Amino acid sequence: MNVRSDGGMSAETRSGMGVESDGGMGAETGGGMGVKPDGGMRLESDGMGVVPALVRGSFLIERVYADSAREHGITPQQGVLICVLMPGPLGMTELSQTLSLAKSSLTGLVNRSEANGLVERATDPVDTRAVVVSLTPAGSATAEKFYAGTCRRVDALTKSLDPAERDTLSALLGRVVTDNEVPMVFMDERR
């Protein structure tokens, strides 16, 4: 990408990206986002393709998670961890697989969460060589509040949709998640 010294894109770069002379995106880019003549980004919702919609949606959910976590004095990663542990204790290997974290990264997350009083480690009663991680009473209380607040915030994102649209969105995203074998990192509030 060729960027001019003033921060704008060169005509060659705009052309290569499908950016039209007025700053709009050409048909080959799939819409959803454009570049203003001043180099800034223009957002459009009509005709947004599935890829930008999912990517932008993931940023939106990450922001909700971060806001909810901040409200409860935890990190977004700790929010994920305590939500995963809400149904019950898990071993480090299970947590590593569920969270898609390397064991060293998971150990750091569990260490920080333990230091904050959210989780505790115990010897696995089935395999005394292994460790299980569970919520402390304080961690459980934080998890319940974090979960409820996050559910409210995410639910509010769809306030402009009617019930049928919400059902369709839920069914389609649910199928994408199921088809891609995404682990249960957030419980279904309806269950």
| Residue 149 pLDDT > 90 | yes
Of the candidates 59, 41, 72, 33, which has an alpha carbon nearest to the alpha carbon of residue 83?
A: 72
Tell me the β-bridge partners of 90: 133
User: Is the same domain home to 79 and 36?
Assistant: no
**pLDDT (tens digit per residue) in 54-92:** 999 999 999 999 999 999 999 999 999 999 999 999 999
| 148 occurs within a structural domain | yes
Q: Are residues 123 and 162 in the same domain?
A: yes
- Alpha-carbon dihedral 106, 108, 131, 122, rounded to 10 degrees: -130
pLDDT for the residue numbered 189: 63
More confident residue, 19 or 118: 118
Distances (CA, A) of 107 to 1, 7, 111, 138, 179: 39, 42, 6, 20, 29
25 with 71, same domain: the answer is: no
How buried is 48 (Cβ within 10 angstroms: 0-12 exposed, 13-18 middle, 19+ buried)? Answer: middle
Residue 60 and residue 82 in one domain: yes
pLDDT value at position 47?
A: 73
Same domain, 27 and 101: no
- 118 and 148 in a common domain: yes
Residue at 65 is within a domain? yes
Asked if residue 6 is part of any domain, the answer here is no
Q: Containing domain of residue 130, as a range?
A: 50-179
Under the banding of pLDDT at 50, 70 and 90, the label for residue 21 is very low
What whole-number distance in Å separates Cα of residue 63 and Cα of residue 68? 8
Q: Are residues 120 and 98 in the same domain?
A: yes
Q: Which of 19-23, 34-38, 164-168 has the lowest mean pLDDT?
A: 19-23
Residue 8 has pLDDT above 80, yes or no: no
Alpha carbon dihedral 39, 40, 45, 49, in 10-degree steps, equals 50
Nearest-angstrom CA–CA distance, 27 and 45: 15
Please check whether residues 70 and 101 belong to one and the same domain.
yes
**In terms of domains, do 34 and 78 share one?**
no
Q: Tokens for 148? A: 């409820």
Q: Is residue 20 part of a domain?
A: yes
75 and 108 in contact (C-beta within 8 Å)? no
Beta strand pairing status for 131-135 and 119-123?
Answer: antiparallel
Q: Is residue 187 part of a domain?
A: no
Asked if residue 32 and residue 107 are part of one domain, the reply reads no
* 54 to 126, 133, 176: CA distances (angstroms): 41, 32, 11
How confident is the model over 89-135, as pLDDT tens digits? 999 999 999 999 999 999 999 999 999 999 999 998 888 899 999 99
Please check the confidence at residue 27 and state whether its pLDDT lies above 60: no
CATH of the domain at 157: 1.10.10.10
| pLDDT tens per residue, range 160-191 | 999 999 999 999 999 999 999 888 788 776 54
Q: Is residue 114 part of a domain?
A: yes
pLDDT at 46: 59
**Residue 163 in domain:** yes
* Count of structural domains, the chain: 2
Instruction: Write down the pLDDT at residue 190.
Output: 52
More confident residue, 185 or 151: 151
For the record, the structure tokens of 135 come out as 């919520």
Co-location of 38 and 123 in the same domain: no
pTM of the model: 0.71
82 with 103, same domain: the answer is: yes
3-class DSSP state for residue 175? helix
Does residue 32 fall inside a structural domain?
yes
